[in-house]
Amino acid sequence: MKNTNTIRNWAKDDRPREKLITRGAHTLSNSELLAILIHNGLPNRSALEIAKEVLELGNNNLNELGKQTLTDFTKIKGIGDAKAVTISAALELGRRRQTGELPQRPVINTSKEIGEYLRGKLKDLHHEVFAVIFLNQNNAAIHFEVVSQGGITGTVADPRVILKKALEKNAVGLILAHNHPSGNLSPSKADEFLTQKIREAAKFLDIRVMDHIIVSDEGYYSFADGGMFG
List the pLDDT tens digit at each of the 230 positions of the chain. Answer: 556 556 556 555 457 888 888 888 888 899 999 999 998 888 888 888 999 999 999 888 887 888 888 999 999 999 999 999 999 999 888 877 665 555 554 445 578 888 888 888 887 788 899 999 999 888 888 888 999 887 655 567 899 999 999 999 999 999 999 999 888 898 989 899 999 999 999 999 999 999 999 998 888 999 998 888 76
Q: Are residues 214 and 124 in the same domain?
A: yes
Asked, for residue 104, whether it belongs to a domain, the answer is no
Q: Which residues of 178-205 are buried (b: 16+ CB within 10 A; e: fewer)?
A: bbbbeeebebeeebeebbeebbeebeee
**Is the torsion defined by CA of 146, 157, 123, 136 positive or negative?**
negative
Residue 103: predicted pLDDT: 55
Q: Are residues 95 and 115 in the same domain?
A: no
Q: Are residues 128 and 168 in the same domain?
A: yes
**Structural domain of 210:** 111-222
Backbone angles phi, psi at 99, to 5 degrees: -70, -40
What are the helix (H) ranges across the chain?
16-23, 30-38, 47-57, 62-65, 70-74, 81-99, 111-122, 159-168, 189-203
Domain final position from 74, 99, 124: 99
Number of domains in the chain: 2
